Amino acid sequence: MSEMLEKARKYEFIQGQQIKEEERPAFHITPYVGWMNDPNGFSYYKGEYHLFYQYNPYSTHWDSMHWGHVVSKDLLHWNYVPTALAPDEDYDKFGCFSGSAIELEDGRQLLMYTSVNQEKLEDGTVRDIQTQAVAVGDGKDYEKYDKNPVLTAKDLPKGASKVDFRDPKIWKGNDGNFYCVIGSRPADGSGQILLYRSKNGFEWEFVSILAKNQNRYGKMWECPDFFALKDKHVLICSPQDMKARKYEFHNGHNSVYFLGDYDANRCRFSKEQPHTLDYGMDFYAPQTTELPDGRRIMIAWMKSWDACVIPNSQDWQGMMTFPRELEIKENRIWQNPVKELENYHQNPCCYEHAEIEGETVLAGVEGRTIDLTVTLEDGENTIFSIKLAADSEYETSYIYNKETRLLEIDRTYCGVTKDVVCVRKFRIEDPAGLKKMRFILDYHSIELFINDGQQTATTAICTPLNAKDIYFFSDKKMTMSVEKHDIIM
Ligand code: FRU
């Protein structure tokens, strides 16, 4: 083990333990200590779910990317495993950037990541050189391949930049080969997704340009993912520098998906129009994996580069979303919290056809680690709203206007102390409007699943934990049903 890796492991072991459990979310992943961004290497390996993450143990800011590592048996309790990768080689000394994991034929786990180095130009400026590298291990300790990097500038198609070539997502094809998609910047300055193939996971060859941005959807496409779902193929990517269009593609840095058809013989993907993956303020760089039971599960970084504003704690920054199951319905991706969450339901509190008018509190409906479903029923109302994580000083509100079908999220009073993005509006996709809202609340976040998962909105909050009231509001008489469960770990 390199000195650098040993140092990180020792440091996180000592510092990570100083962080009190109640300073972390109850069931969302946080870095052992320091900074976390993208989920990496999300996979099922030897009976456990593995998740790695972009990690700087030494400060609560992005720097010197390592790979942190957690494992779980149920997707809710995650245990820290020592840092998997440190930027300790010449070819990755400026960071072990995002990547993915897969089990090899011989039972070892392969990690494929972007190795970052830098070069000095004649005018004295420096720029990144991004290549791809691999490491193999047993689920805890990993050894970098001695012939790294395995993909370099010579493996790029004509015009593609060696500065932006990152985030390999690997899978095993039906033909027995490994494949991976990698984000790249072509000569037009925007983004494209490259497809590579390998017989063994170590020797790779360029296959095709799987998708081109052509400056239509943001610029560089980061963190691609590509998989079959039902009878479609899905390409997910996170475009940088994206302009909002009406109520779609807010956040600057965005995560979008394209459905389409994949011709595996010709390695060509014909994609449809992109869609927003999540309408909240904190969602980026999602990664999926297929579980042994066939479910396709996604986890994303629950922060955003452009509105990276929710301070989590003095000792850690960054969280992952709750794992979500993906399905295709009506030619769109629908997302729902994994069903394992229900094993941790306690203290149910239900109201059927409760009548509300004006501001209403329902006895027993409160809390900060809860699974709350609100079904909107009949009413003459135009406005319906819910305030969560509330007391007389704090609240995060969800305000729905039936006439415009717009839902507004407002976290102005969640505890933020900077002048930053706090309001987001979007249109409810279903022409019948907003019927059902399922909120998954944890101490530092609110994830909303709309109309059984047709749309989602993920937002981090920084509200003192004793603000746990819930207020309902309707401008005219209406009825609703409410089901609340505490989530107790
Ligand atoms: C996305 C990203 C990736 C890169 C990583 C570096 O958030 O910029 O493209 O690999 O973060 O930490």
pLDDT digits (tens, 9 = 90+) for 185-221: 999 999 999 999 999 999 999 999 999 999 999 999 9
237 lines ligand 1 (CB under 6 A): no
User: What distance, in Å, lies between the first and last C-alpha atoms of the chain?
Assistant: 35
Residue 451: helix, strand or coil by DSSP? helix
Taking residues 417-425, report their average pLDDT. Answer: 89
Mutate to test the pocket of ligand 1, among 36, 53, 54 (most ligand atoms within 8 A of CB): 54
With a 6 Å cutoff on the Cβ, whether 169 touches ligand 1 is: no
- Transcribe 146-167 into DSSP letters: TT--SB-GGGSPTT--SSSEEE
The model's confidence at residue 311, banded by pLDDT at 50, 70 and 90, is confident
Confidence band for 421, pLDDT divided at 50, 70 and 90: confident
- Beta strands 436-442 and 406-410: pairing type? unpaired
d(C-alpha 320, C-alpha 70), whole Å: 12
Asked whether 226 and 209 are in contact (CB, 8 A), the reply is no
**Prediction pTM value:** 0.97
Is 38 an annotated catalytic residue? yes
Q: Average pLDDT for residues 135-160, to the nearest whole number?
A: 98
Most informative mutation of 63, 223, 225, 255 for ligand 1 (most atoms within 8 A of CB): 223
Please give the pLDDT value at position 358: 97
Question: What would the two tokens of residue 379 be?
Answer: 């009413």
CB neighbours of 221 closer than 8 A, spacing ≥ 6? 183, 190, 191, 192, 193, 211, 213, 237, 238, 239, 240
Instruction: State the closest ligand 1 atom to the C-alpha of 97, by its place in the atom list counted from 1.
Output: 10
CB of 65 sitting under 6 A from ligand 1: yes
Look at residue 308 and tell me whether its pLDDT is greater than 90. Answer: no
